Amino acid sequence: MAGWYIDNVKLVGGVDNEPPAIPTGLTAESFVRGIKLDWNQVSDADLSHYEIYRSEVSNEDYEKIAESVMNTFVDGTVEANHIYYYRIAAVDFAGNIGEFSEEVSVTAGEFTTLFGTDFEENNGGFITGVTAGSNNPWEWGGVPTSGPNVAASGGDKLWATNLLGNYTTNTDAYIESPAIVIPENSNPILTFTHWYDFEGTTTKWDYGQVLVSKDDGGNLDQYYSRE
């Protein structure tokens, strides 16, 4: 015999004046794209987002610089060799703002950007095509309505395998950056922010990879792979 019992259902209204918990474990690290912040996710069920605050003076003059729905953020508006201080606050859906996290500080490193795009103004000069078959779900454009429903690192626009839903089956497609000139005797580092949810968590049917060519696309070497 099988069934489903439901009992004592209530829906209670009221005013939420309780702020979310204080974010813990905040860290700051300088890297090629700016300063990367990471912290522990708060456990509040009604969490809306986090507010990121920055100052150039310890414990004062903090200004809000961004919001993030994820417990990570990259501050790409820093100047090399400057010391920056950060704090994070959690905000719930009722608009309650929690207390600041502990303060962290870091000195922004000095790097030369050889190429960069956030895809907000245009598609970054990327092109798209297929390696096999004819299915190509890659598209650039507005706010995605699938996945986390936001661009991977803020803003509105990005490249995605279908902005409005799942990628198609039997897909073997790619996006390709414009040619980038690498100066001699340099040690370039490629970084990018991404979100993925591939079919086959245990079977590993699907995967993504980053390929690099040194001869205008003639030969491609695997740089990165994610299943």
CATH number at residue 65: 2.60.40.10
Nearest to 100 by CA among 51, 58, 65, 66: 51
Residue that finishes a domain, picked among 107, 137, 153: 107
- Specify the amino acid at residue 1: M
Domain interval for residue 66: 27-107
Q: Is 157 inside a domain boundary?
A: yes
In this structure, are 103 and 193 located in the same domain?
A: no
The verdict on 227 and 120 lying in the same domain is yes
Say yes or no: 81 and 142 in one domain: no
Residues 209 and 153 in one domain: yes
Which of 52, 72, 107 is the C-terminal boundary of a domain?
Answer: 107
Query: Which residue type does 219 have?
Result: N
Q: Is residue 207 part of a domain?
A: yes
Q: Which of 87, 107, 127 is the last residue of a domain?
A: 107
Residue 100 and residue 132 share a domain: no
Q: Are residues 219 and 117 in the same domain?
A: yes
142 and 224 in a single domain? The answer is yes
Instruction: Answer whether 163's CB lies under 8 Å from 146's CB.
Output: yes
Predicted pLDDT at 41:
95
| Successive 10-residue mean pLDDT values, the chain, 227 residues | 74 81 97 91 94 97 95 92 97 95 95 86 94 91 73 74 84 93 84 79 75 84 64
Q: What is the pLDDT of residue 188?
A: 84
- 126: Cα separation from own chain's centroid: 19
The answer to whether residues 137 and 197 belong to one domain is yes
212, part of any domain: yes
Residue 153: predicted pLDDT: 59
Q: What is the DSSP string of 48-76?
A: EEEEEEEESBTTB--EEEEEESSSEEEE-
| Count of domains for the chain | 2
